[in-house]
Amino acid sequence: MSSKIGVQNIAHTNGTNAMTVSASGVTTFTSPPVGLPASTANSMIDIFTFHNSVSAVQLNNGEVLSSMTRDTTSGVGTLNPGMSESTGLWTFPSTGYYKISYMLNVFSEGSEHNISVLMNFTANNGTSFTEHARDMTAVDSGNGSETMRGTWYLNITNTSNSKFKWTLGLNRGTKFRTGTAGVGSRFYFVKLG
């Protein structure tokens, strides 16, 4: 003999709802269950490039990385893409934990360049920003090149106010490889749960 418990909601004794069961049996959690495999969570993978109309672009100190385009090259793996960017300010499609990464291919056409990439986060829709991380490298003189990579993790609790931007710190003009070719710079977003 089998037993059955029929409920619509499961809640803590303080009344905080933890999960809901619909009439069709679909279970919805108010936050991702601990230990749930990523493949069953509300996942997202989104990949962007920038300045697709040229092969390289020169940027200046303090400039915000913008003009992003979703990479739709054949074979590029995206899942439920949903990130959006406007004048360098990134908006998340839903609350949750995100892994944010970049790969910048940079080069100089002369003297040595020092480069930093700053990840600035706002919890108030851009009124003020906090520097979460700063990655730095130097590109050798005489047509030197370097690949910069960085990864950050964010807990997004409010999609209207929680946003971020990448800002550059440069001591001289530096060029960045762009477009969807193999040497183009990339920006990756993965929702972990």
Check: CB of residue 168 under 8 Å from CB of residue 7. Answer: no
The domains of the chain are located at 36-191
pLDDT tens per residue across all 193 residues of the chain: 566 777 777 787 887 777 777 666 656 666 655 554 444 445 778 777 765 555 566 666 677 877 777 777 767 767 777 888 888 899 999 999 999 998 887 777 666 677 788 888 999 998 999 988 888 777 776 666 778 888 989 999 999 999 999 887 776 656 777 766 666 778 888 888 7
Burial 48-87 (b: 16+ CB within 10 A, else e): bbbbeeeebbebeeeeebbebeebeeeeeeeeebebebee
Task: Give the type of residue at 122.
Answer: T
Topology of the domain comprising 36-191: Jelly Rolls (2.60.120)
104 φ, ψ to 5°? -110, 125
Q: Residue 50, CB half-sphere, CA atoms under 13 Å: how many?
A: 26
